Amino acid sequence: MSATANDLGSRRRTVDDVLSEEQQARAAQLLWQLWQEGGRIPVLPDELRPSTRADGYAIQARLEARSGSLLYGWKIAATSTAGQAHINVDAPIAGRLLAERVIPNMGLVPPGPNHMRVAEAEFAFRMGRDLAPRATAYTVDDVLQAVATLHPAIEIPDSRYQDFTRVGAAQLIADNACAHYFVAGEPAGMDWRSIDLATHRVVARVDGRPDMEGSGANVLGDPRIALTWLVNELSQLGITLGKGQIVTTGACIPPFAIGPGDRVTADFGCLGSASVRFG
């Protein structure tokens, strides 16, 4: 991270100088209002600015509380070097998928502000049972035993910051890890557990442009590893990953540009596809 990013991303608080609940609530209110109105700010105000990931997640939790529906699931941002470069962080971050921001497969993203103007093709997993916090880390096998279905998916991120590459991980986490809209395809109709997801080919298509290709290896080396990272991140925060929730694991292909009228398809071959059109 550059010196400029550090200056914008931190208030240089001491370890014990965390945000109060009132400050967390005010930060969440500001970010929520910006999200609903399509507004942006350079950074959170100094007195509301998180300096740690824990502070960021505490603000993010208050965004979920403003949703009118049960939590749909979770997203992971920055699971590839391209994704980390895109938002200028050096490790993954987690965000919440809110039910009111989920678009049906082959549906229409409503017109409105989208400052990032990119989409991502992703592996997503729906959980078949709860995974509660515990003292020992979950293994990949532990987590996969709790998965019900695999889905091809498209994530459409956005940020409430004018330059999301300069604010740092704590503020990005507070901003729900750049969550915006999400599309899940139908569950894979074959035995996906027998497939090496790391080497599985993924193709993204935007009408009138050449195909873009990637694979599961771009997602922390394997989307199953990314899913396990998310479970353990939540466990450390004291959060249960719930039965029925979906986790989208990050971009298999570097984020690609989209615009009004575009139709985007994420083609996962034998695992199916997801598609969405932009109003």
**Helix-helix angle 21-37:53-65, to 10 degrees:** 60
pLDDT at 8 over 50: no
pLDDT tens-digit map of 87-102: 888 899 999 999 999 9
Which residues does 83 contact at the CB level (< 8 Å), separation at least 6? 77, 120, 250, 251, 254, 255
Average pLDDT over every residue of 252-266: 95
Q: By CB neighbour count within 10 A (0-12 exposed, 13-18 middle, 19+ buried), where does 24 fall?
A: buried
What residue spans of 150-199 are helical by DSSP H? 169-174
pLDDT at 9 over 50: no
How far apart CA 262 and CA 264 sit, in angstroms, is 6
Tracing tokens 């993203």 back to the chain, one arrives at: 109
DSSP state letter for 229? H
Average pLDDT over every residue of 130-141: 98
Which tokens go with 80?
Answer: 């590839």
Phi first, then psi, for residue 176 (nearest 5°) are: 60, 35
Q: Which of 34, 81, 88, 25 is nearest to 55 (CA)?
A: 25
Give me the CATH number covering residue 162: 3.90.850.10
Q: Which domain holds residue 51?
A: 3-278
Q: How many domains does the chain have?
A: 1
pLDDT at 12 over 70: no
Q: By CB neighbour count within 10 A (0-12 exposed, 13-18 middle, 19+ buried), where does 216 fall?
A: buried
pTM over 0.75: yes
pLDDT at 13 over 60: no
